[in-house]
Structure 1
Amino acid sequence: MSKGKATAVGFIAVLLWSLLALFTVGSAPVPPFQLNAICFAIGGAIGLIWTARNGGFSTLRRINWRVYAFGTFGLFGYHFLYFSALRLAPAAEAGLIAYLWPLLIVLFSGLLPGETLRRGHILGAAVAFGGAALIIVKGGGGFQSNATPGYALAFLCALTWAGYSVLSRRLGTIPTDSVAVFCIATAALSAVAHIAFEDTVWPTTQIGWLSCIALGLGPVGLAFYVWDIGVKRGDIQVLGVASYAAPLLSTLALVVAGISKPTLPLLFAAILIAGGAALAARASAGKV
């Protein structure tokens, strides 16, 4: 698979993650960790079926347990920190801090063998982050000092996903089928967290059940497999900046569904995100 094709495959994850908010709204009133357990169980099952059809179980048995620990830490750690941050701090501000991960991916990727961090990458990431920030904080009420623990967890959340994504590049020889094990282990840990911290609440409508299933099939399922391909074989710097499209597309999905209203900041955000991605792409081509 060429680098360009792998980058395009990785961007499918961004498109799927843009539906995360829409399906999460539809899945109410299922609590976060229970939802996590359901969705990752579905995502893991998809991966195991795919692996079985391709005869990859023998390969999975040869993978070092440290790789599985790393992948599980990345998936479960990110979601655990994200949900915890949103419990302890205002959602808009905590979400903004958590969405530092695309910027961190661009910056950290410059440390990888064979990669060069150009001025255009940094400029593009900063411009695109401005667009993402505009979307996330457009209705925010400012930072609150009593929410500092939540802000700290949100920053750890960003570090976790950026680190997972960049370090996955170093595991380029590990087959993407291994993500199925990551998902199953994450589902198990999420189930334990649910039992420890939450009351069980199942979907009460058909829309709720369909939303849970859709989450497991897409944003919390297939997305992690295509992302794995993208960060291992594609242009990780372009993917990092392109990830800022997720909050934009997520907002557009909510607008189309009638949950949110179109606003002028949304238009400005679109210009910033598209411009930032273009700068990063030019930098990867050696033009900036």
Structure 2
Amino acid sequence: MHPNVYALAAIALWASLASLGLLLGHVPPFLLTGLALVIGSVPAWPLARRWTVPPGTLALGIYGLFGYHLLLFIGLRHAPAVEANLVNYLWPLLIVVLAPAILPGLRLRAAHVLAAVVGFAGAALAIVGASTGGGVRAGWSWGYLPALGAALAWSTYSLGTRRVRAFPTAAIGLFGLVSGLLALACHWLLEPAVALTGRDWALLAAMGLGPLGAAFFLWDKALKTGDPRQIGVLSYITPLASTLLLLLVSGRALTWSIALAAALIIVAAVVGTRTGAKERTTA
């Protein structure tokens, strides 16, 4: 299967994360993430014999899965949510820009940078266009720093999995389990206890088995066999699809800004993937 198919499958699952998060908005974020990550690791438990990885690789996995969510939650709590989410969605651009610096044998072409910038513009339109405030507020907030840290954490984790010694994708289950337990520890230390209903557990299972479970395994498969520059550009479909699903769930109408965002992201995806295809043809 083509690596971009694995990436698109992960993106499709991540698109449901915001809607599931909306339905579980009453659950404290660390509890939500911790339970979902632990649930997401369960399908890999039968393959626990393949979880043996060097300490550095395990640290990379925890850095990616736990570090990303920790920084993102801090950013969202201490900066306006829309603006912090925009900063967070610099991670696809960072994957494209940092790929040649982290991975040998890759060059940064102008078409890749152009596609990533156009994709970010589309993501910004999608996020801002769907916000209730109707725009981005000016002004500095220190919460933008952890949001930027989250973008850097996810992009460098994604690229870093290609720099460490090859490990089985099943080991993502170990990363998720340890990260989930760390998130639950943060809940115990920082958040109030809550009682969960049967509906909450069903939604948590959907979140864990989908966007905070299977998506990570698919993402790992895509990055191990694909071009991270192409995958980074394709990743801008995530905020667009997430926004469209949120509009559907909330019953809100499609706006011109969302339509324009879709056009920009589609153009970016076509330019980014065609550039990679031309490189392979001329190589």
Give the structure-1-normalised TM-score: 0.91
CA contact (8 A) 1:119 1:283 kept: no
Matched, 1:22 2:13: no
CA–CA distance in structure 1, aligned partners of residues 54 and 42 of structure 2: 21
SS of the residue 2:106 aligns to = coil
Match of 1:131 in 2: 122
Match of 2:259 in 1: 267
Q: 5 Å matches for 1:1-288?
A: 5-49=2-46, 51=47, 57=49, 59-61=50-52, 63-111=53-101, 112-138=103-129, 139-145=134-140, 147=141, 149-171=142-164, 173-204=166-197, 206=199, 208-286=200-278
Give the root-mean-square deviation of aligned CA atoms: 1.7
CA–CA distance in structure 2, aligned partners of residues 34 and 181 of structure 1: 18
- With 163-172 and 14-23 compared, the bigger mean Cα shift is at 163-172
- With 130-139 and 237-246 compared, the bigger mean Cα shift is at 130-139
CA contact (8 A) 2:127 2:243 kept: no
Identical residues among aligned pairs (%): 39
CA–CA distance in structure 1, aligned partners of residues 147 and 138 of structure 2: 13
Deviation above 4 Å: which 4+ runs of structure 1?
none
- With 88-97 and 226-235 compared, the bigger mean Cα shift is at 226-235
CA–CA distance in structure 2, aligned partners of residues 160 and 32 of structure 1: 19
SS of the residue 1:285 aligns to = helix
CA–CA distance in structure 2, aligned partners of residues 92 and 276 of structure 1: 22
Residues matched between the structures, number = 275
Instruction: Call closer, same or farther: CA 1:241–1:172 in 2, change over 3 Å.
Output: farther
Once the two structures are superposed, residues 8-48 of structure 1 have per-residue CA deviations (whole angstroms, 9 ceiling, x without a partner) of 11221111100000111111311000001110110111221
CA contact (8 A) 1:251 1:260 kept: no
- With 122-131 and 109-118 compared, the bigger mean Cα shift is at 109-118
Give the structure-2-normalised TM-score: 0.92
- Unpaired stretches in structure 1, ≥5 consecutive residues: none
- Unpaired stretches in structure 2, ≥5 consecutive residues: none
CA–CA distance in structure 1, aligned partners of residues 161 and 57 of structure 2: 10
